[in-house]
């Protein structure tokens, strides 16, 4: 079983034809021409992404450092205010005024609800507090504070201070929202992830989903507090990066395809339509170019019009040549007809002179001349009969008619029946070959009659077996075997004429004495 089904062969043929066609060549040329631009665009896109990533990291670093400085400044401020307030409470018995002052100072740092504070002693007595102060004091009992008095929990960042004598403790907690405001973050910003890290604890200030892997991470130290501010900006998605890198490739393919479409509509299809019309052109037919397409090139439209004009002129010239050929054929037929009539008139005149001649020698001369004129008339008549077919002179009927005329003229001249046999293949001769052969036949027949022995005569024209383009013409008679000395002058005269005719045929005349045969080779028409 063949590995390829018949349905695959047309598809392969179409694909092979398309690949060898101009459209495919133009498509691949456009792709190669635009390839450097596509590569340059891809490199530029990659460099642009890399540069944008570096700039983003630089901006993130600056923002993280600035937010860390703000947070460090706020922590220092709160720590200082707490220490001063606690020391003042130890020295004075006006906690309410001091607590109100502390609230006013903290109110300038954060909005209400973003910061909680409480002042108390080691015994658990609370001197002043905000709404969530008691809960803050309770959580502080179990919290682990650093040496700088900071503790990080899920509720926020707690700052612990005490009076100089250690009697009073002041706790201030930045809530998660307060820290967000302090570092300039927004809970609705899904692109940034902001967190505060203290030791092993970490408090997320924004949506944790923004901190997924793939984003750039920047960490900034919050002064000497031990805190770290983490800023993560969600990276550009892999799909977007891939699209930005693949887009130049898509544009490259699209530009090549669009160029191929334009070239196909503007050049290839109009040329194919015009080629179909020109391929069916034959001389005399007028080429009608197909209707121009909407996007067809004006040069191709002009080419089609040029073909139309050229075919119109050729058709007109063809008509003129055909008419001239018809006139020429009529003139040729007329000339042949007049030559045939003139030969007939000449033969009739010779016959009249022969009948009116007074001596036997004169009569023999007139009959010999008439024999040659009749042979030429036979050639002319056969050529005229084959004029329309343009195949030359048919040899077989020509030689048969000449042989018949020779019998008649020999009987009139000598009163003896001359036997003339013919052996001729059905071949065609050019007129320039047929006329010398006719003359040569008449000349050899006259030669045989002049010898006066009455031997039979054989005329043959046989195609050579090893050379179909040539034939051997031969005239044989027992009279040609031995010639008496008294007939030497006649032999010399006849042979000079025969050799002259052979030179006209550009072939040597050979005489076989033993066979009594004169023969030579002549060309044939196909």
Is there a domain that residue 185 lies in? yes
Is there a domain that residue 255 lies in? no
Is there a domain that residue 212 lies in? yes
Give 252-291 pLDDT, tens digit per residue: 888 878 877 777 777 777 877 878 888 887 877 887 777 7
User: What is d(CA 138, CA 355) in angstroms, rounded to the nearest whole number?
Assistant: 172
The whole-number pLDDT of residue 415 equals: 65
Which band of pLDDT confidence, cut at 50, 70 and 90, is reported for residue 523?
very high
User: What is d(CA 130, CA 106) in angstroms, rounded to the nearest whole number?
Assistant: 11
Burial of 222 (0-12, 13-18, 19+ CB in 10 A): buried
Q: Residue 484 CA to chain centroid, in angstroms?
A: 87
CB 283 within 8 A of CB 314: yes
The lowest-confidence range among 75-84, 203-212, 236-245, 343-352 is: 203-212
Tokens 């695959």 identify what position? 8
Whether the predicted pLDDT of 208 surpasses 60: no
Domain count, the chain: 2
Give the end of a domain, one of 205, 236, 267.
236
CB 271 within 8 A of CB 258: no
For 335, 442, 479, 497, 518, the CA distances from 501, given in Å and listed in that order, are 25, 12, 21, 6, 13
Domain boundaries, position 439: 383-523
Give the end of a domain, one of 236, 263, 284.
236
Q: What is the mean pLDDT of residues 437-444?
A: 86
Q: Classify the C-alpha dihedral 160-163-165-167 as positive or negative.
A: negative
Which helix or strand (DSSP H or E) is residue 331 part of? helix 298-356
Residue 419: both structure tokens together:
């036997």
Is there a domain that residue 57 lies in? yes
The whole-number pLDDT of residue 2 equals: 46
pLDDT higher at 180 or 463: 463
Give 175-207 pLDDT, tens digit per residue: 777 777 777 766 555 567 788 888 777 777 776
The whole-number pLDDT of residue 210 equals: 47
Mean pLDDT taken over the chain: 77
Whether the predicted pLDDT of 368 surpasses 60: yes
Q: What is the mean pLDDT of residues 388-409?
A: 81
Whether the predicted pLDDT of 357 surpasses 70: yes
Give 286-342 pLDDT, tens digit per residue: 877 777 777 677 777 778 788 888 888 888 888 888 888 888 888 877 887 777 788
Give 104-122 pLDDT, tens digit per residue: 777 667 677 678 888 877 7
Which band of pLDDT confidence, cut at 50, 70 and 90, is reported for residue 132?
confident
Which band of pLDDT confidence, cut at 50, 70 and 90, is reported for residue 488?
low
Give the end of a domain, one of 208, 236, 264.
236
Say which CATH number the domain at 504 has. Answer: 3.30.565.10
Is there a domain that residue 365 lies in? no
Is there a domain that residue 165 lies in? yes
User: What is d(CA 129, CA 124) in angstroms, rounded to the nearest whole number?
Assistant: 13
Q: Classify the C-alpha dihedral 292-293-299-304 as positive or negative.
A: negative
Is there a domain that residue 177 lies in? yes
Query: Which is nearest to 336 in space by CA: 382, 289, 367, 372?
Result: 382
Give 10-63 pLDDT, tens digit per residue: 555 656 666 666 767 777 777 787 788 878 888 888 888 778 777 878 887 887
Is there a domain that residue 306 lies in? no
């Amino acid at each position: 079983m063949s590995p390829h089904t018949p349905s695959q062969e047309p598809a392969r043929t179409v694909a092979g034809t398309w690949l060898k066609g101009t459209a495919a060549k133009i498509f691949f040329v456009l792709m190669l021409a635009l390839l450097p631009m596509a590569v340059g665009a891809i490199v530029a896109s990659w460099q642009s992404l890399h540069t944008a990533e570096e700039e983003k990291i630089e901006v993130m670093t600056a923002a993280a450092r600035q937010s860390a400085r703000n947070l460090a400044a706020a922590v220092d401020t709160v720590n200082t205010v707490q220490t001063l307030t606690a020391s003042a409470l130890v020295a004075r018995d006006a906690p309410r005024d001091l607590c109100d002052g502390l609230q006013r100072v903290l109110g300038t740092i954060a909005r209400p609800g973003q910061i909680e504070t409480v002042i108390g002693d080691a015994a658990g007595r609370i001197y002043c507090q905000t709404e969530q102060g008691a809960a803050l004091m309770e959580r502080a009992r179990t919290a682990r504070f650093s040496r700088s008095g900071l503790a990080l929990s899920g509720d926020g960042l707690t700052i612990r201070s005490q009076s100089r004598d250690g009697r009073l403790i002041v706790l201030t907690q930045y809530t998660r929202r307060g820290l967000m405001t302090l570092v300039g973050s927004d809970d609705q910003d899904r692109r940034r992830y902001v967190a505060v890290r203290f030791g092993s604890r970490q408090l997320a200030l924004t949506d944790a989903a923004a901190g997924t892997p793939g984003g750039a991470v920047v960490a900034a130290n919050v002064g000497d507090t031990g805190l770290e501010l983490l800023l993560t900006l969600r990276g550009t998605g892999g799909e977007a990066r891939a699209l930005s890198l693949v887009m130049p490739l898509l544009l490259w393919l699209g530009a090549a395809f669009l160029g191929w479409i334009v070239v196909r509509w503007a050049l290839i299809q109009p040329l194919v339509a015009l080629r179909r019309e020109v391929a069916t052109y034959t001389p005399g037919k007028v080429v009608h170019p197909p209707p121009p397409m909407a996007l067809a090139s004006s040069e191709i439209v002009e080419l089609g019009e040029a073909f139309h004009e050229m075919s119109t002129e050729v058709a007109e010239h063809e008509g003129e040549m055909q008419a001239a050929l018809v006139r020429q054929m009529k003139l040729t037929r007329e000339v042949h007809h007049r030559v045939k009539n003139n030969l007939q008139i000449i033969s009739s005149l010779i016959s009249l002179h022969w009948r009116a001649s007074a001596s036997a020698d004169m009569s023999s001369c007139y009959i010999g001349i008439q024999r040659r004129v009749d042979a030429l008339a036979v050639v002319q008549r056969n050529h005229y009969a084959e004029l329309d077919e343009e195949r030359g002179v048919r040899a077989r009927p020509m030689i048969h008619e000449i042989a018949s005329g020779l019998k008649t003229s020999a009987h009139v001249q000598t009163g003896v029946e001359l036997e003339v046999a013919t052996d001729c293949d059905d071949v065609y001769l050019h007129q320039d070959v047929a006329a010398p052969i006719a003359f040569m036949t008449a000349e050899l027949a006259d030669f045989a009659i002049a010898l006066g022995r009455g031997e039979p005569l054989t005329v043959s024209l046989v195609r050579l077996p090893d050379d179909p383009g040539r034939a051997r013409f031969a005239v044989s008679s027992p009279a040609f075997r031995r010639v008496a000395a008294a007939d030497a002058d006649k032999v010399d005269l006849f042979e000079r004429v025969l050799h002259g005719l052979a030179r006209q045929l550009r072939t040597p005349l050979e005489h076989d004495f033993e066979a009594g045969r004169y023969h030579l080779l002549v060309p044939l028409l196909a």
